[in-house]
Amino acid sequence: MRKRLSKKLDVNTEKNGGKKRNMASIKLNKVQQSAVEAINGPVLIFAGAGSGKTRVLTHKISYLIDSGNYKPENILAVTFTNKAAKEMKTRVQKLLKMKKLEMDISTFHSICARLLRSEIHHLGYSNTFAIYDVEDQTALIKIVLNNLTISKDTLTPKAARSQISYFKNKMITPVTVQQKARTKLDGMIGDVYQAYQTALKENNAADFDDLLILPLELFKHHPEILKKYQKKWKYILVDEYQDTNQPQFLFVSKLAEAHHQICVVGDDDQSIYSWRGADIKNILDFKKKFSGCSTFTLEKNYRSTQQILSAATAVVKKNKDRKPKTMESANGAGDKIGLFETVDEMEEADAIVSALEKEINLNKRTFQDFAVLYRTNAQSRALEDSFRRQGIPYTIVGGLRFYERAEVKNILAYLKFIVNMKDTVSLRRIINFPPRGIGLKTVDKCVTYAEKVKKELFEILPEGTKVGVRGKQCQSLTKFHDTIQKYNDLLKKVNAGELARSLVDEMKVLSYYKNLNTPEDNERYNNVLELLNSIDAFLKRKPEGDIREFIEEVALLTDIDNWNDETNSVTLMTLHSAKGLEFPVIFITGLEDGLLPFYNAFNDQKEMEEERRLFYVGLTRAIEKVYLLYARNRRKMGLDYAVGLASRFLKEIPVKYLENISFNSALMRKVTTSNRGKETKVKVTRSITLFDDFMVGDYVKHAIFGIGKIMALSGSGENQRVGVVFKDGLKKKLIVKYANLKKVDTPSVT
CB atoms within 10 A of CB 357: 16
Please indicate whether residue 611 is annotated as part of the active site.
no
Backbone torsions φ then ψ of 510, nearest 5 degrees? -65, -45
How many CA atoms within 13 Å lie on the side-chain side of 395? 21
CB atoms within 10 A of CB 360: 22
Beta strands in 601-693, from DSSP E residues, in sequence order: 622-631, 633-635, 641-643, 658-661, 668-673, 680-685
Whole-angstrom distance between the N-terminal and C-terminal Cα of the chain?
28
Residue tagged active-site, from 3, 4, 8, 53: 53
User: What CA–CA distance (Å, rounded) separates 61 from 101?
Assistant: 11
Task: Give the chain's radius of gyration (CA, Å).
Answer: 28
Residue tagged active-site, from 248, 270, 390, 473: 270
User: What CA–CA distance (Å, rounded) separates 521 from 526?
Assistant: 9
Please indicate whether residue 621 is annotated as part of the active site.
yes
Percentages of the chain per state (helix, strand, coil), in multiples of 5: 50, 20, 35
Give the bridge partners for 132, in sequence order: 207
Residue tagged active-site, from 87, 119, 133, 239: 239
Cis amide linkage into residue 747, ω under 30° from 0:
no
Please indicate whether residue 375 is annotated as part of the active site.
no
Please indicate whether residue 566 is annotated as part of the active site.
no
Kind plus residue range of the DSSP H or E element containing 700: strand 699-702
**Residues 6 or more apart whose Cβ sits within 8 Å of residue 574:** 373, 374, 375, 376, 377, 397, 398
Q: What is the DSSP string of 94-137?
A: HHHT-S----EEEEHHHHHHHHHHHHGGGGT--TT-EEE-HHHH
Strands in 294-298's sheet, in edge-to-edge order, are 104-107, 75-79, 235-238, 262-266, 43-47, 294-298
CB atoms within 10 A of CB 323: 14
User: What CA–CA distance (Å, rounded) separates 214 from 200?
Assistant: 12
| C-alpha torsion 524→529→535→539, nearest 10 | -160
Residue tagged active-site, from 621, 635, 648, 737: 621
Beta strand 706-714 with 658-661: parallel, antiparallel or unpaired?
unpaired
How many CA atoms within 13 Å lie on the side-chain side of 5? 27
Which residue type sits at 262? I
Find out whether 587 and 355 touch, Cβ atoms under 8 Å.
yes
User: What CA–CA distance (Å, rounded) separates 104 from 232?
Assistant: 10
User: What CA–CA distance (Å, rounded) separates 617 from 629?
Assistant: 16
Backbone torsions φ then ψ of 67, nearest 5 degrees? -70, -10
Q: Which of 219, 254, 253, 298 is nearest to 31 (CA)?
A: 298
Residue tagged active-site, from 240, 341, 344, 582: 240
Kind plus residue range of the DSSP H or E element containing 207: strand 205-207
Please indicate whether residue 53 is annotated as part of the active site.
yes
User: What CA–CA distance (Å, rounded) separates 496 from 486?
Assistant: 14
Angle 75-78-79 from CA coordinates, rounded to 5°:
150
Residue tagged active-site, from 32, 54, 81, 558: 54
Distances (CA, A) of 147 to 150, 191, 447: 8, 11, 11
Please indicate whether residue 240 is annotated as part of the active site.
yes
Q: What is the DSSP string of 241-282?
A: GGG--HHHHHHHHHHHTTT--EEEEE-GGG---GGGT--THH
Active site amino acids:
53-54, 239-240, 270, 621
